[in-house]
Amino acid sequence: MSGGGAGRHIGRILIRAIVTILMVAVLNFILFRVIPGDPAALLLGGARTSVTAEQMEAQRQNWGLDRPLFPDQMVDYLTATLQGDFGYSFKFRGRHVAELILERLPATVVLVGLAQFVAILCGVMLGLYAGWRRGGAIDHIVTGASLALYSTPSFWLGMLLVVTFSTALGWLPGYGAYSPGATIGSLDSLLDHLRHLALPVTAVALGLIGQYVVVARAAMSDVVTEDYMVTARAKGLTNGQMLVRHAFRNAMLPVVTLITLNLGYVVAGAITVEAVFAWPGIGGLTVEALNARDYPVLQGIFLLLGASIVVANLIADLAYGLLDPRVRQ
Amino acid sequence: MTNSSQDKAPLLDVNCLSVDYGLKGVSLRAIDRVSFALQAGEAVGLVGESGSGKTTTAMAIAGLLSPNARVSSGEVRYRGSRLPIDDDAAMRPHRWCETSVVFQGAMNALNPVHRIIKQIAEPCMLKLGMSRGEATARARELLGLVGIPTDRGSAYPHELSGGMRQRVMIAMALACRPSIVIGDEPTTALDVITQAQILKLLGELRSRLSLALILITHDLSVVAECCDRVMIMYAGRIVEDGTVAEIFAQPKHPYTRLLIESIPNPASGKKMIRPIPGDPPNLVNRPSGCAFHPRCPSAMGVCGTEVPSLDQFGRGRVACHLHRSSRGDKVAVHA
């Protein structure tokens, strides 16, 4: 329990995270090399165009594809990646992968970040309450609805929302982040953006709420049967005091883990929902890159996804250590 | 007992208390017309096997019955006034200030995410209205009282040994200066040496703070060590009540006798422990008459048909037909 012990704990977690990210990069490299298809041919426009053997060879030499995969190409990939160079997109000729990703990142962070915020607020509160009053009417309703939402694909929810609120009722826009011709930066465009956010945020949040409710409820209903809750009751605490002083923090342990792990997906986006709403984020970029076989972009997105999940894990470990003294040694 | 206590009202008076548990439509009687009185400063052992009703009795006194429990008869009086034991909210002000409970602290009775000093100080702040500083000072004092170095107050429960945690539990139980402390198997899950230390500590604190102690246990040797009086429970009823000395020397109820004979005693030279034959009673289909009669070596015809009442017998009480028929002479002998 000394400061040294806690320091070692943090050090161990950090080293583990770095090693994991390196392994993700290596796997990422291997994954894209075992995909069938010759990158040189793809670069020259695929099988439909006729190219000479010389042109192919020149292309191979140009991109270093004539050298052995291991270790030359892998070392190249890893050193370039470490320097922040993720290569060029096939589809958007001449554009850096990093540039493309950074361009699309804010839209995704806003969409998924807002959805997470709403889902955490509603889901955790509902879940904790349902667990605290387990067996009650509210518990049955909340748990039933959550399980239904949890098992519903969020893109389908998104489609329902579009059909209802956009197509049929015409209340909210069903695609894109802005109306065409909007001057970005004005107050009007901000309101316009919020209107565009409403449906996709709802779709992503509804999917997440179920998850938070289920975990928070399970955690809370475990806590209420713990012996220390009997002690708290014996001490003459009111129900509110028992909830706030004794149950809440213990029930939040697994919930905090889930929240931080989900933070990793804020960056990666909600691919299917973004596709449904034509949202100009990372998810949309992934779908475009997949359709165009834009391997460098996919490789960059995969690495980003892997790294952000590892970092989220890291934060989860550290947060858990702060909340639970038992894991701090 | 009753005779000697008529002049002064007992600290605690349990009168004809029955508690039922509702389980999926089936009602199960956990304790049946339990009556006893507890004097200030007295130490009573409540002994019985699992399901005998000893814990339900103690939880009823502490006002900690679970929501599916129902008080179907009787009452509990503390210093002469009736406790609202079947009303969770009304019972709240009485808890911890009059009767506190030492749970099995060695297990999970302490909150794992709070420092022990905070857990001891909590009732001082919430129940006695002390400031945080006063409560912490009081908690330090209590730690000293149970023999824990005050600088260990910042430790978390998992950093302490089982014995230390039990001491923390005792310190916590004393926080609001209660007059009754209930020990709910306080030494279970502790090794023999720690067990002896904890019992010694409880005994010392009891005489120092003139506490009344109710010790729930299935272990008669624990009772022998630190109680004045013992009540034996079987199938939700008190079957025998008497001083420790009397009960060990001359058990009246066959169940008590068998319980004492089942204690391993290396000094007596007996090699085998004698277990009590048969199974613990089924509380849903309670045996007719005396609940112990199917296992009783001295059972008679009347035992299967008539429930024996808990009658005064000598200086104690016993519920057994054996002693009923000859009560007249026996009382004469003892008195």
Report the CATH number at residue B250.
Answer: 3.40.50.300
CA B310 from chain centre, in angstroms, equals 18
Query: Given an 8 Å threshold on Cβ–Cβ distance, is A326 in contact with B158?
Result: yes
Long-range residue pairs from A61-70, CB within 8 A, at least 24 positions apart, any chain: A63/A39, A65/A39, A65/A40, A69/A33
Same domain (yes/no): B215, B87: yes
Whether residue A250 lies within 8 A of chain B, CB to CB, comes out as: yes
Of the candidates B126, B112, B168, which has an alpha carbon nearest to the alpha carbon of residue B143? B168
B223 contacts: CB under 8 Å, gap ≥ 6: B45, B47, B215, B217, B230, B244
Partner residue facing A236 (CB), from B113, B127, B159: B127
Note the pLDDT tens digit of each residue in B242-301.
999 999 999 999 999 998 888 777 666 666 677 788 888 888 888 889 999 999 998 888
* Nearest residue in A to B94, CA atom: A236
Residues in B touching A325 (Cβ below 8 Å): 112-113, 156, 158
pLDDT of residue B325: 54
Assigned domain for B318 exists: no
Q: Which domain-ending residue is among B156, B177, B198? A: B177
Same domain (yes/no): B219, B72: yes
Note the pLDDT tens digit of each residue in B7-26.
567 999 999 999 999 877 78
Query: Given an 8 Å threshold on Cβ–Cβ distance, is B123 in contact with A236?
Result: yes
* Nearest residue in B to A246, CA atom: B111
Partner residue facing A234 (CB), from B62, B93, B155: B62
Query: Given an 8 Å threshold on Cβ–Cβ distance, is B109 in contact with A228?
Result: yes
CA distance B238 to chain A (A): 25
Residue B144's domain comprises: 101-177
pLDDT of residue B221: 85
Same domain (yes/no): B2, B148: no
Give dist(CA A87, CA A294) in Å, integer: 11
Interface test with B, best of A133, A223, A233 (most B CBs within 10 A): A233
Give dist(CA B269, CA A88) in Å, integer: 90
Same domain (yes/no): B172, B119: yes
Assigned domain for B19 exists: yes
pLDDT of residue A46: 62
- Span A279-298, mean pLDDT? 88
Partner residue facing B113 (CB), from A233, A236, A250: A250
Query: Given an 8 Å threshold on Cβ–Cβ distance, is B103 in contact with A234?
Result: yes
pLDDT of residue A329: 58
Give dist(CA B235, CA B54) in Å, integer: 9
Q: Who has greater pLDDT, A297 or A52?
A: A297
Same domain (yes/no): B78, B143: no
Whether residue A232 lies within 8 A of chain B, CB to CB, comes out as: yes
What's chain B's average pLDDT? Answer: 87
Q: Which two tokens stand for residue B271?
A: 């090699």
pLDDT band of residue B335 (cuts 50, 70, 90) is very low
pLDDT at residue A140 is higher than 80: yes
Interface test with A, best of B55, B103, B111 (most A CBs within 10 A): B111
Whether residue A103 lies within 8 A of chain B, CB to CB, comes out as: no
pLDDT band of residue B106 (cuts 50, 70, 90) is low
Assigned domain for B165 exists: yes
Residues in B touching A234 (Cβ below 8 Å): 62, 64, 95-96, 100-101, 103
Cβ(B314)–Cβ(B331) below 8 Å: yes
Q: Which domain-ending residue is among B250, B268, B286? A: B268
pTM (2 d.p.)? 0.81
Assigned domain for B127 exists: yes
* Nearest residue in B to A2, CA atom: B155
pLDDT band of residue B330 (cuts 50, 70, 90) is very low
* Nearest residue in B to A227, CA atom: B109
Partner residue facing A325 (CB), from B97, B156, B172: B156
Residues in B touching A226 (Cβ below 8 Å): 108
For the CA atoms of B241, B242, B248, B252, the dihedral, rounded to the nearest 10 degrees, stands at: -60
Q: Which residues sit opposite B70 in a β-bridge? A: B20
Residues in A touching B94 (Cβ below 8 Å): 236
SS (H, E, C) A34-61: HCCCCHHHHHCCCCCCCCCHHHHHHHHH
Assigned domain for B195 exists: yes
Which region, left, alpha or beta, applies to residue A174 given φ > 0 means left and ψ of -120 to 50 means alpha? alpha
pLDDT at residue B90 is higher than 50: yes
Cβ(B114)–Cβ(A229) below 8 Å: no
Same domain (yes/no): B35, B15: yes
Whether residue A326 lies within 8 A of chain B, CB to CB, comes out as: yes
Whether residue A226 lies within 8 A of chain B, CB to CB, comes out as: yes
Q: Which domain-ending residue is among B138, B157, B177? A: B177
Q: Who has greater pLDDT, A264 or A204?
A: A204
Interface test with B, best of A134, A235, A245 (most B CBs within 10 A): A235
CA distance B109 to chain A (A): 4
Assigned domain for B285 exists: no
Q: Who has greater pLDDT, A8 or A16?
A: A16
Cβ(A228)–Cβ(B110) below 8 Å: yes
Note the pLDDT tens digit of each residue in A34-90.
887 777 777 776 656 677 888 888 888 887 788 888 888 889 889 988 888 888 887
Burial of A316 (0-12, 13-18, 19+ CB in 10 A): buried
Q: How many domains does chain B have?
A: 2
Give dist(CA A239, CA B111) in Å, integer: 16
pLDDT of residue A269: 67
Whether residue B142 lies within 8 A of chain A, CB to CB, comes out as: no
**How much of chain B, in percent, has pLDDT values that exceed 70?**
91
Residues in A touching B103 (Cβ below 8 Å): 227, 230-231, 234
Q: Who has greater pLDDT, A59 or B85?
A: B85
Whether residue B92 lies within 8 A of chain A, CB to CB, comes out as: yes
Q: Classify A88 as helix, strand or coil.
A: strand
pLDDT of residue A65: 81
- Span B43-51, mean pLDDT? 91
Assigned domain for B26 exists: yes
Residues in A touching B127 (Cβ below 8 Å): 235-236
* Nearest residue in A to B93, CA atom: A236
Whether residue A4 lies within 8 A of chain B, CB to CB, comes out as: no
* Nearest residue in A to B99, CA atom: A234
Note the pLDDT tens digit of each residue in A148-163.
998 998 889 999 999 9
b/e per residue, B95-120, with b = 16+ CB within 10 A?
bbbbbbbbbbbbbbbbbbbbbbbbbb
Same domain (yes/no): B218, B167: no
Of the candidates A101, A111, A108, A110, which has an alpha carbon nearest to the alpha carbon of residue A299? A101
Query: Given an 8 Å threshold on Cβ–Cβ distance, is B112 in contact with A234?
Result: no
Q: Classify A166 as helix, strand or coil.
A: helix
pLDDT band of residue B334 (cuts 50, 70, 90) is very low
Same domain (yes/no): B166, B194: no
CA distance B115 to chain A (A): 9
Same domain (yes/no): B143, B92: no
Cβ(B157)–Cβ(B110) below 8 Å: yes
Same domain (yes/no): B199, B54: yes
Range of weakest confidence among A225-239, B219-233, B240-254, B320-334:
B320-334
Domains of chain A as residue ranges with CATH: 100-327 (1.10.3720.10)
Whether residue A104 lies within 8 A of chain B, CB to CB, comes out as: no
Give dist(CA B26, CA B172) in Å, integer: 37
**How much of chain A, in percent, has pLDDT values that exceed 70?**
95
Whether residue A247 lies within 8 A of chain B, CB to CB, comes out as: no
Same domain (yes/no): B152, B195: no
Query: Given an 8 Å threshold on Cβ–Cβ distance, is B95 in contact with A236?
Result: yes
The dihedrals phi and psi of A54, each to the nearest 5 degrees, come to: -65, -45
CA distance B84 to chain A (A): 14
* Nearest residue in B to A322, CA atom: B113
CA distance A126 to chain B (A): 23
Scan for tokens 């000293």, then name that residue: B144
Cβ(A266)–Cβ(A109) below 8 Å: yes
* Nearest residue in B to A249, CA atom: B113
Whether residue B78 lies within 8 A of chain A, CB to CB, comes out as: no
Q: Which residues sit opposite B44 in a β-bridge? A: B214, B229
The interface residues of chain A toward chain B in range 156-185, judged by CB-CB distance below 8 A, are none
Cβ(A269)–Cβ(A108) below 8 Å: yes
pLDDT band of residue B310 (cuts 50, 70, 90) is very high
Whether residue A225 lies within 8 A of chain B, CB to CB, comes out as: no
Assigned domain for B273 exists: no
Note the pLDDT tens digit of each residue in B162-212.
999 999 999 999 999 999 999 998 888 888 899 899 999 999 999 999 999
Same domain (yes/no): B80, B21: yes
- Span A234-246, mean pLDDT? 93
Note the pLDDT tens digit of each residue in B111-170.
999 999 999 999 999 999 999 999 999 999 999 999 999 999 999 999 999 999 999 999
SS (H, E, C) chain B: CCCCCCCCCCCEEEEEEEEEEEECCEEEEEEEEEEEEECCCCEEEEECCCCCCHHHHHHHHHCCCCCCEEEEEEEEEECCEECCCCCHHHHHHHECCCEEEECCCCCCCCCCCCCHHHHHHHHHHHHHCCCHHHHHHHHHHHHHHCCCCHHHHHCCHHHCCHHHHHHHHHHHHCCCCCCEEEEECCCCCCCHHHHHHHHHHHHHHHHHHCCEEEEEECCHHHHHHHCCEEEEEECCEEEEEEEHHHHHHCCCCHHHHHHHHCCCCHHHCCCCCCCCCCCCCCCCCCCCCCCCHHHCCCCCHHHHCCCCCCEEECCEEECCHHHHHCHHHHHHHHC
Cβ(B102)–Cβ(B169) below 8 Å: yes
